């Protein structure tokens, strides 16, 4: 009872903190195990996202900004039809381009990240980061490797603000696994 | 012959039992047939529903575990299967990834209530391929168990038992009804036949019956009884005639010597019992032989008829007269009370006989008769003695008459 009161209070005072804890993907124990796991997870997330303009099997452009922490060989593995084209961009060039469907935010300055999140708001762009384990800085999906497992968390507020539709099953995976909701 | 009858009846069955058995057989057959049909239809329909149920469960599971397969996440797969574990009738679940390795599996904690039923209905698991954007990413397998079927089977068996009970009750009811409708008229006929055979009651008839065949049988029996009754009546009148002929004289229509002997014995016994007396008149026509010879037999007969008419005329109620020989008659005057004087009766008879008789030839003949009186038990203690005494008295009277003539 007290705990639930505290939770309600917490969600009222910090509305941006409705973050879902992550699922646990098994990472194979090899050199490129983490790379494969990250690519598979990103591909899976992309496959469950719906852009307002297009079909599921179209090619999406992923713009990687900053330095990814988990892998340098970013090549998302989308199950079934559909694929992802990877581009590396700097913070300054993103705003000028209109063809980014996905933003992958690696390690970067906090001010840059805040600027990008603000720019994304209202646009049909999926945001994924691997530099925010608590998932509190405004990216929709946050990857993290805890205890040799790869997992992702969901920021429902960020998803709710954007025009993208995410399959609720993915949200529930992000929500139900691991730590406190 | 009589020893055989009970044995035969004992070995036979009653019509009611026969009908009851017949009805039970028919009804049981019908119930079994319809029950079997319903059971087969029910089982095939149930099998269809069970298959569909498993398929739906598998589809639901496939939908639930699809992201888990995409992210290769066993925990999420377990959670995706969670809704299925609450569906009754699922024994086991397994999720395989695209390489055929199990991602997660679940087994029902409840034991299978009827493994045989499970083997019959769910010989192999339902497998549904899980696809993501057109490519197979894994398989979900669902094993069913008999927990949902067992209720149907139980209800089916109960219903079957109930039907059997209703069958038995219905059979009893039908048999009762048949007893009323069929056995009762038959019993009616049997009763009449039995009554006729045992008590010779030929006036009994079978009443009109509701069933056409039985009514015809009853009608035939009635006709037979009509004929039997006719024969019986004819035989009785014949016998009465023969009996009369045996005990009576044909010419005078009076009882004969045999009848008289019988009557006398009775009167003696009766008089002994009551301590009373009675008189015997012995009557003999005088010169009858001479009349017979001179006028012929027809004249003799006429004289005898006239004589008998005189005797009958004299008789009172209770008296008995018989012709015991050619021209000999006897009258038993019984009871013999104070007012009755046998001699007066004798005189009356003789006076009557003395009147002229017209013979068949046209001549007239004046007959006369001798009468002897004997009183029981004064003149004789038994039939022979009494008769002898009466005969002697008559003879004395005849002698007296001759000397007078």
CATH number for the domain including B94? 3.30.450
Decide if B25 contacts B170 (C-beta within 8 A).
no
Q: Where does the pLDDT of residue A13 fall: very low under 50, low under 70, confident under 90, or very high at 90 and above?
A: very low
The verdict on a CB contact (< 8 Å) between B64 and A80 is: no
Q: Which domain holds residue B352?
A: 257-404
Contacts of A17 (CB under 8 A, 6+ apart): A10, A11, A136
Q: If we measure between CA atoms, which residue out of B151, B146, B157 comes closest to residue B50? A: B146
Nearest by CB to residue B76, choosing from A23, A78, A79, is A23
pLDDT of residue B310: 85
Chain B residues at the A interface, defined by Cβ less than 8 Å, are 63-64, 66-68, 70-76, 79-80, 131-135, 137
**Using 50, 70 and 90 to split pLDDT, how confident is the model at B405?**
low
Measured between alpha carbons, how far is B68 from B235 in angstroms, rounded to an integer?
115
Residue that is last in its domain, among B101, B134, B151: B151
Domain harbouring B279, CATH code = 3.30.70.270
**Whether B321 contacts B255, CB under 8 Å:** yes
Q: Which chain B residue's Cα is nearest to A48?
A: B67
Q: Report yes or no: A76 and A49 within 8 Å, Cβ to Cβ.
A: no
Best residue of B73, B74, B79, B104 to probe chain A, by most A CBs closer than 10 Å: B73
CB-nearest partner of B73 from A47, A48, A173:
A173
Q: With bands split at pLDDT 50, 70 and 90, how would you rate the model's confidence at B94?
A: very high
Query: What are the catalytic residues of B?
Result: 327
Q: pLDDT tens digit string along B225-261?
A: 899 889 989 999 999 999 888 888 888 888 888 889 9
- Are B67 and A57 inside 8 Å of each other by CB? no
Total domains in chain B come to: 2
Residue B350: per-residue pLDDT:
83
Q: Summarize pLDDT for B71-80 with one digit per residue, the tens.
A: 888 888 888 8
Choice among A4-18, B265-279, B390-404 with the minimum mean pLDDT: A4-18
A133 vs A177 pLDDT, higher one = A133
Q: Which domains does chain A have, with CATH numbers?
A: 19-176 (3.40.50)
Predicted confidence (pLDDT) at residue B89 exceeds the cutoff of 70: yes
The residue-averaged pLDDT of B187-194 equals: 88
Residue A18 pLDDT: 54
What pLDDT is recorded for position B11?
65
The whole-angstrom distance between residue B170's C-alpha and the CA centroid of its chain comes to 27
Q: What is the pLDDT of residues A144-157, one digit of tens each?
A: 887 677 888 898 88
- Report the pLDDT value the prediction gives residue B143, as an integer from 0 to 100: 92
Please give the Cα distance from A110 to A34 (Å, whole number): 25
Distance from CA of A57 to the nearest CA of B (A): 7
Q: Let me know: does A130 contact A69? Beta carbons within 8 Å.
A: yes
Share of chain A above pLDDT 70, in %: 77
Does residue B145 lie within any of the structural domains?
Answer: yes
Q: In which band, very low, low, confident or very high, does the pLDDT at A31 lie, cut at 50, 70 and 90?
A: low
DSSP assignment of A94-143:
HTT-S--SEEEE-B--HHHHHHHHHHHTTSS-EEEESS-TT--SS-SEEE
The reply to whether B60 falls in a domain is yes
% of chain B exceeding 70 in pLDDT: 97
Q: Considering B118, B151, B184, which residue would you say is the last residue of a domain?
A: B151
B9 pLDDT band (50/70/90 cuts)? low
Domain assignment of residue B284, yes or no:
yes
Q: Does the structure show a pLDDT above 60 at B91?
A: yes
Contacts of A41 in chain B (CB under 8 A): 71
- Percent above pLDDT 90 for chain A: 18
Which of B71-75, B316-320, B328-332 has the highest average model confidence (pLDDT)? B328-332
Give the residue on B whose Cα is nearest the Cα of A55: B133
Average pLDDT over residues B311-328: 85
Q: How far is A13 from chain B (nearest CA, A)?
A: 30
Per-residue pLDDT for A9 more than 50? Answer: no
Which of B63, B68, B71 is the best residue to mutate to test the A interface, defined by the most A CB atoms within 10 Å of its own CB?
Answer: B71
Per CB-CB distance under 8 Å, the chain B contacts of A167 are 67
- Give the confidence band of B10 by pLDDT, cuts at 50, 70, 90: low
3-state secondary structure of B360: coil
Q: Within this chain, do residues B265 and B380 fall inside the same structural domain, yes or no?
A: yes
Mean pLDDT of B335-360: 80
**Is the predicted pLDDT of residue A175 greater than 80, yes or no?**
no
> Mean pLDDT throughout B132-143?
88
Please determine, for residue A55, whether its predicted confidence score (pLDDT) is greater than 60: yes
- CB contact (8 A) between residue A26 and residue B80: no
The C-alpha atoms of residue A46 and residue A100 are separated, in whole angstroms, by 13
Q: Is residue B69 part of a domain?
A: yes
Average pLDDT, chain A: 79
Q: Is B131 among the domain residues?
A: yes
Determine, for residues B67 and A56 on separate chains, whether the beta-carbon distance falls below 8 Å. no
| Of residues A24, A41, A56, nearest to B75 (C-beta) | A24
The rounded distance, in Å, linking the Cα atoms of A110 and A114 is 6
User: Sorting pLDDT into bands at 50, 70 and 90, what band is A10?
Assistant: very low
Q: Is the pLDDT of residue A12 over 50?
A: no
B67: nearest CA partner in chain A: A170
3-class DSSP assignment, residue B332: strand
Q: Has residue B95 got a pLDDT over 90?
A: yes
Is B124 among the domain residues? yes
Contacts B79 to A, Cβ<8 Å: 172-173, 176
Shortest distance between the Cα of A169 and any Cα of chain B, in A, equals: 7
Give the closest-approach CA distance of A73 to chain B in angstroms.
19
End residue of a domain, out of B151, B184, B213: B151
Query: Does residue A14 have a pLDDT over 80?
Result: no
pLDDT in tens, A78-96: 887 788 999 998 888 887 7
- B305 pLDDT above the threshold of 80: yes
Nearest-CA distance A40 → chain B (Å): 7
> Rounded CA gap, B35 and B55, in Å?
29
Q: Does residue B28 lie in a domain region?
A: yes
Contact A79 B135 (CB under 8 A): yes
Q: Do B135 and A82 touch (CB under 8 A)?
A: no
**Average pLDDT, whole number, for chain B?**
85
Q: What is the 3-state secondary structure (H, E, C) of A2-24?
A: HHHHHHHHHHHHCHHHCEECCCC
Identify whether B61 is part of a domain: yes
- Is A25 in contact with B72 (Cβ distance < 8 A)? yes
- Model confidence at B276, in pLDDT bands (50, 70, 90)? confident
CB contact under 8 A, B67 and A173: yes
């Amino acid at each position: 009872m007290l705990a639930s009161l505290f939770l309600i209070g917490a969600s009222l005072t910090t509305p941006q903190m409705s973050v879902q804890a992550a699922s646990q993907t098994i990472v194979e124990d090899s050199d490129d195990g983490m790379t494969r796991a990250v690519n598979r997870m990103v591909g899976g997330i992309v496959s469950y996202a719906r852009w307002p303009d297009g079909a599921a099997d179209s090619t999406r452009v992923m713009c990687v900004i900053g330095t990814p922490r988990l892998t340098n060989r970013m090549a998302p593995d989308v199950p079934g039809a559909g694929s992802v084209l990877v581009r590396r961009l700097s913070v300054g060039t993103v705003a000028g381009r209109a063809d980014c469907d996905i933003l992958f935010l690696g390690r970067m300055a906090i001010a840059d990240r805040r600027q990008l999140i603000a720019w994304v708001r209202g646009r049909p762009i999926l945001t994924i980061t691997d530099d925010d384990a608590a998932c509190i800085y405004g990216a929709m999906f946050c990857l993290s490797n805890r205890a040799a497992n790869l997992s992702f968390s969901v920021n429902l507020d960020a998803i709710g603000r954007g025009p993208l539709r995410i399959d609720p099953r993915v949200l529930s995976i992000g929500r139900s696994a691991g730590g406190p909701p | 012959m009589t020893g055989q009858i009970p044995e035969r009846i004992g070995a036979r069955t009653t019509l009611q039992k026969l009908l009851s058995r017949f009805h039970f057989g028919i009804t049981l057959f019908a119930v079994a047939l319809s029950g079997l049909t319903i059971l087969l239809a029910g089982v095939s329909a149930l099998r269809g529903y069970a298959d569909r149920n498993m398929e739906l469960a598998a589809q639901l599971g496939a939908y639930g575990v699809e992201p888990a397969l995409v992210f290769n996440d066993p925990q999420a797969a377990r959670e995706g299967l969670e809704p299925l574990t609450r569906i009754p009738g699922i024994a086991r679940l397994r999720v395989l990834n695209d390489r055929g390795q199990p991602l997660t599996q679940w087994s029902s904690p409840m034991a299978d209530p009827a493994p045989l039923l499970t083997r019959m209905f769910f010989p192999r698991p339902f497998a549904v391929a899980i696809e993501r954007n057109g490519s197979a990413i894994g398989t979900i397998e669902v094993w069913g168990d008999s927990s949902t079927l067992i209720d149907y089977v139980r209800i089916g068996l109960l219903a079957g038992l109930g039907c059997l009970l209703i069958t038995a009750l219905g059979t009893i009811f039908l048999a009762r009804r048949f007893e009323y409708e069929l056995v009762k008229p038959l019993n009616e006929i049997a009763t009449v036949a039995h009554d006729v055979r045992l008590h010779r009651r030929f006036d009994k008839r079978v009443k009109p019956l509701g069933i056409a065949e039985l009514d015809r049988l009853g009608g035939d029996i009635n006709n037979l009884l009509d004929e039997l009754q006719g024969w019986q009546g004819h035989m009785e009148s014949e016998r009465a005639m023969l009996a009369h002929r045996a005990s009576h004289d044909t010419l005078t229509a009076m009882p004969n010597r045999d009848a008289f002997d019988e009557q006398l014995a009775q009167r003696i016994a009766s008089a002994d019992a009551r301590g009373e007396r009675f008189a015997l008149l012995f009557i003999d026509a005088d010169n009858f032989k001479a009349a017979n010879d001179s006028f012929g037999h027809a004249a003799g007969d006429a004289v005898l008829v006239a004589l008998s008419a005189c005797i009958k005329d004299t008789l009172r109620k209770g008296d008995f007269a018989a012709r015991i020989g050619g021209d000999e008659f006897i009258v038993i005057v019984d009871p013999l009370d104070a007012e009755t004087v046998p001699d007066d009766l004798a005189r009356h008879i003789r006076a009557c006989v003395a009147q002229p008789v017209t013979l068949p030839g046209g001549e007239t003949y004046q007959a006369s008769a001798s009468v002897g009186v004997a009183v029981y038990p004064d003149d004789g203690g038994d039939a022979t003695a009494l008769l002898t005494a009466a005969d002697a008295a008559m003879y004395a009277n005849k002698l007296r008459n001759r000397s007078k003539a």
